A and B are shown apart, each in its own frame.
Chain A
Amino acid sequence: MTLTERLVNRVGSRPGRSGPSRRGFLGGAALVGAALAVNPWGYLVRPASAYDTVCGTQAACADGYSAFCCTVNGGSNSCPPNSFIGGWWKADNSSFCGGSARYYIDCNAFRNGPWQCHCAEGSCDQRRVACNQFRYGQCSLDVPASNTGPVVCRMVSCTPPWQQFGGTCTSSSATDNRTATHTAPCNGQAPLGGLDWVAGSDGGIRLAGWAFDPDQPSTDLQIAVYLDGVGVGWFGTGGPRADVNAAYGISGNHGFELSIPAGSGTHTVQVYAINVAGGTGNPMLGSRTVNVGAVPVGSLDSLAGVADSRIRVRGWAFDPDEPGTEIQVAVYRNGAGVGWVPTGVPRPDVNSVYGIGGNHGFDFTIDAPPGDHTVQVFAINIAGGIGNPLVGNGSVRVGLAMGSVDRAAAVGSTVRVQGWAFDPDQPNTSIQVAVYRDGAWVGWFPTGVPRPDVNSVFGIGGNHGFDVPVDSPPGRHSFQVYAINIGPAADNPLIGIRAAVVQ
């Protein structure tokens, strides 16, 4: 043992010299936030201080471990001069590598080389340098034990050494999980990136962003996606992002856009970039809350003015997130809320089309004063998805007689004015129509002609057609027809104007 080694060992054994300096400790207090950001799993599950998370546990010279190469090699995670790769081990389930194995690669000095045993002088990595005469034995097999000096430092990587140092290291592994929490702040840079957007979709979540590792800026990364705190998977970048490349002066494809399945409801999505080289962890690119699911669907099938000055509203609506459950619809008349009405009317046609169960029809009436109205119906969401969609709107006339002048045709000197009319207040009762020729009153005439087509459309009974003969002099004439109201007081609406020419 050299004198230097004796001094180092004595320093390392001194009581109370088990942690970083006070100055370093105070500096470390500011690193709590950084620790949480770069090492979310490790920090939250391991009983270590934030300082430890940044620099790793057992970082003092007295702890007996070898320093990291970046600490002693100008920040470079590589073997310093006069050293060689002597071997490697792994620590499984490392938070520094996204839960995968983390690899430690020793750089051994050559025997009788210039390296002298000492304690590193990193901000917190004060482990031993060129002290531990030990070799793992899988790398640089051409260097015999007789030419092997102590471990100068150790590199660290999330990439297996037989891949990273192919031809130098073999794949025969050694495991030491007690070093899983060792690291140093200088171990490269953490990936950069951003979570551009997250959006709920039908049955899942879509998200997009970008990430790259400054240590290997042209390499595609993996991102880890968590849904409500549970790992969903790793996904590769690989999408072109010319904007990112231009901004950072790099090449490669660093964008990602993907979908993950998610049930209906509100979810939290977190995305981490997985470090491919040095750096102190896998930074979170972003966290978002997103609502997933489909909004209700439906239809407003018909609006009709019905007896007693009411509007009959018919249709169907259901929420695909819970297709067997009856939902409610919100009704607005002329822009003002009327109320919420439950579905519950059997609609086997809807169930057949969508392959669902339940009773999703609605058929109800609302009050309305005589006149023209607009009606809007919204389906009320009961699960995922955002908003209560409009399922239909329409216009309807209430409390006023209605009808149509279908034709006015001259036969000789007689013009036959034909059409239909009824009053929704008493839809089965025949009413009268008032006929005007060229603005002059001709007379009132009863309806009473069967019009099964009208009855079918409006769902009413009675005979509501009219066929009025009007003797007229030669020339062109205009015929105006008004339906005569029979319900509550209201106007007698004009239901049509037709022209006819008498020869």
Chain B
Amino acid sequence: MIAEPIIGGHGFSVTLPATWEGRIYQRPTPSAAFSPRNRAAPGSNLADAGAGWLGEQTRPVLHLGNFALPADRGDYGSGAVETMGPQNTFIAILEFGRECLGTALYASVGLPRVSPEGFDPNALQRRIPGQAGCQFFFTEQSRPMCLYVVLGSGIDAPALSAQVNMVLDRIRVAAG
């Protein structure tokens, strides 16, 4: 019997079911204000030079899906959700800063679970025909987060949401 893979990092760990894959990452924090002078400087990293401004805080992001996650994804799954088929599911968990603790938006405590009726074709970052989504803001282990789930087929929400909850059960969040 092949052991199910476990991915971990940035205070997350997930035991991946068969056919699922995941990514845990945190984008680099801008270390210098952008300017063409920086970009033109010998040895400068062109990819970083235009990414954000000083003061920006990047946070850990967890992506899970039962399909091949493309390398180039937006934090809420753009670039990945467009490739989903009807039986595919995408899960994103984004962490936010501690300044969010105790606020109304993040008042809910604990990683939520989804229900079929909670999915809506308009509850998507970008509406894609056939898909449905849902979103929750919460705090887990004193870490403010957002759970965003996209189903490849809203019609199949009952079956797909069960898969989602099965995967959510496998997510562990370390204390912040």
Q: Which residues in A have some Cβ–Cβ distance to B below 8 Å?
A: 1, 5, 9, 12-13, 63-65, 89-90, 92-94, 98-101, 117, 128, 131-138, 140-145, 150, 160, 162-163, 170-179, 224-226, 230-234
Which residues does chain A contribute within 8 Å of B47, judged by CB atoms? 93
Interface centre among A93, A128, A150 (most CB of B within 10 A): A93
A174 touching B94, Cβ below 8 Å: yes
Give CA–CA (A424, B129) in the complex, Å: 102
A178 touching B50, Cβ below 8 Å: no
- Among B50, B96, B124, B126, contact of A137 (Cβ-Cβ < 8 Å): B96
Give CA–CA (A9, B126) in the complex, Å: 12
B51 touching A178, Cβ below 8 Å: no
A131 touching B40, Cβ below 8 Å: no
State whether A172 and B40 are in contact (beta carbons under 8 Å apart), knowing that A134-B124, A134-B135, A234-B35 are contacts in the complex: no
Q: Is B42 an interface residue (CB 8 A)?
A: no
Q: Which of B7-15, B16-24, B55-63, B156-164 faces chain A? A: B55-63
Minimum C-beta distance from B122 to chain A (A) = 5
Give CA–CA (A137, B136) in the complex, Å: 10
Give CA–CA (A224, B37) in the complex, Å: 9
Which residues does chain B contribute within 8 Å of A234, judged by CB atoms? 35-37
- Among A13, A135, A174, A176, contact of B135 (Cβ-Cβ < 8 Å): A135
Q: Is B39 an interface residue (CB 8 A)?
A: yes
A174 touching B75, Cβ below 8 Å: yes
A150 touching B122, Cβ below 8 Å: yes
Number of A-B contacts (CB under 8 A): 159
Q: Is B116 an interface residue (CB 8 A)?
A: no
A144 touching B105, Cβ below 8 Å: yes
Q: Is B167 an interface residue (CB 8 A)?
A: no
Minimum C-beta distance from B132 to chain A (A) = 10
A132 touching B52, Cβ below 8 Å: no
Give CA–CA (A136, B47) in the complex, Å: 24
B126 touching A142, Cβ below 8 Å: no
- Supply 17 further A-B pairs (C-beta < 8 A) apart from A65-B126, A143-B105, A173-B58: A12-B127, A64-B124, A92-B52, A132-B122, A133-B122, A137-B146, A141-B105, A144-B107, A145-B108, A145-B136, A160-B52, A162-B56, A170-B96, A172-B100, A174-B76, A225-B36, A233-B35
Q: Is B27 an interface residue (CB 8 A)?
A: yes
Minimum C-beta distance from A419 to chain B (A) = 70
CB-defined interface of B111-122 with A at 8 Å, one 1/0 digit per residue? 000000000111
State whether A145 and B105 are in contact (beta carbons under 8 Å apart), knowing that A64-B128, A232-B36 are contacts in the complex: yes
B126 touching A64, Cβ below 8 Å: yes
- Chain B contact residues: helix, strand, loop or mixed: loop
Total residues of chain B contacting the partner, CB 8 A: 50
B56 touching A9, Cβ below 8 Å: no
Which residues does chain B contribute within 8 Å of A233, judged by CB atoms? 35-37, 40
Minimum C-beta distance from A125 to chain B (A) = 15
Q: Which 5 A-B pairs have the closest CB atoms?
A: A231-B36, A176-B74, A93-B50, A233-B37, A141-B103
Q: Which residues in B have some Cβ–Cβ distance to A below 8 Å?
A: 27, 34-37, 39-40, 47, 49-53, 55-59, 72, 74-76, 78-79, 94, 96-97, 99-100, 103-108, 120-129, 133, 135-137, 146
A64 touching B74, Cβ below 8 Å: no
Q: List 13 A-B contacts (CB under 8 A).
A: A63-B126, A65-B126, A99-B34, A133-B120, A143-B104, A145-B136, A163-B55, A170-B99, A172-B59, A177-B72, A178-B78, A178-B79, A233-B40
Which residues does chain A contribute within 8 Å of B76, judged by CB atoms? 89, 136, 174, 176
Which residues does chain B contribute within 8 Å of A141, judged by CB atoms? 100, 103-106
Give CA–CA (A12, B130) in the complex, Å: 12
State whether A101 and B100 are in contact (beta carbons under 8 Å apart), knowing that A133-B122, A144-B107 are contacts in the complex: no
Q: Which residue of A lies closest to B55 (CB)?
A: A171
B34 touching A101, Cβ below 8 Å: yes
Which residues does chain A contribute within 8 Å of B105, judged by CB atoms? 137, 140-145
Q: Which residue of A lies closest to B54 (CB)?
A: A160
Give CA–CA (A218, B23) in the complex, Å: 46
State whether A128 and B127 are in contact (beta carbons under 8 Å apart), knowing that A100-B50, A142-B103 are contacts in the complex: yes
Give CA–CA (A225, B37) in the complex, Å: 9
State whether A231 and B124 are in contact (beta carbons under 8 Å apart), knowing that A89-B75, A141-B106 are contacts in the complex: no
- Among A99, A136, A137, contact of B36 (Cβ-Cβ < 8 Å): A99
Which residues does chain B contribute within 8 Å of A135, judged by CB atoms? 135, 137
Which residues does chain A contribute within 8 Å of B37, judged by CB atoms? 231-234
Q: Which residue of B lies closest to A144 (CB)?
A: B104
Q: Which residue of A lies closest to B94 (CB)?
A: A174
Give CA–CA (A170, B56) in the complex, Å: 9
State whether A172 and B97 are in contact (beta carbons under 8 Å apart), knowing that A134-B124, A145-B136 are contacts in the complex: yes
Which residues does chain B contribute within 8 Å of A232, judged by CB atoms? 36-37, 40
Give CA–CA (A176, B106) in the complex, Å: 22
B56 touching A100, Cβ below 8 Å: no
B57 touching A5, Cβ below 8 Å: no
Minimum C-beta distance from B98 to chain A (A) = 10
Minimum C-beta distance from B33 to chain A (A) = 8
Which residues does chain A contribute within 8 Å of B135, judged by CB atoms? 133-135, 145
State whether A99 and B39 are in contact (beta carbons under 8 Å apart), knowing that A93-B51, A131-B122, A141-B104 are contacts in the complex: yes
Give CA–CA (A13, B108) in the complex, Å: 35
Give CA–CA (A135, B57) in the complex, Å: 18
Which residues does chain B contribute within 8 Å of A133, judged by CB atoms? 120, 122-124, 135
Which residues does chain B contribute within 8 Å of A63, judged by CB atoms? 126
Which residues does chain A contribute within 8 Å of B126, judged by CB atoms? 63-65, 132
Minimum C-beta distance from A430 to chain B (A) = 72
A132 touching B50, Cβ below 8 Å: no
Give CA–CA (A117, B120) in the complex, Å: 14
